[in-house]
Amino acid sequence: MSRSKVKQGKFTVVLRKEEDGGYSVQCLELPGAISQGENKREALKNIKEAIQGYLEAFPEEAERVKLKKEVAEVTV
């Protein structure tokens, strides 16, 4: 079975250092794309695979993520 090609794009991800070790990572544009790794490098490699898999499973999401976005940081 061949995998469909997902177009390249830029995505915003959030890395979090976990108390029990390693890193979790989540894509802001695709909330279902979540992964982890023992270190930052591994976590980023894994989230790339998670994003590609998510877009292959839900190709309609590729159009939604093309919409202009703005990232802001707030303090509470």
DSSP assignment of the chain: -PPPPPPP----EEEEE-TTSSEEEEESS-TT-EEEESSHHHHHHHHHHHHHHHHHH-THHHHHTTS---------
Please give the radius of gyration of the chain, using alpha carbons only, rounded to the nearest integer: 14
In this predicted structure, what is the pLDDT of residue 73?
86
Percent residues over pLDDT 90 in the chain: 57
Average pLDDT of span 40-52: 97
pLDDT exceeds cutoff 50 at 3: no
Mean pLDDT of the chain, nearest integer:
87
What the block records as the tokens of 76 is 């509470």
What the block records as the tokens of 10 is 């830029």
Percent residues over pLDDT 70 in the chain: 88
pTM assigned to the model: 0.78
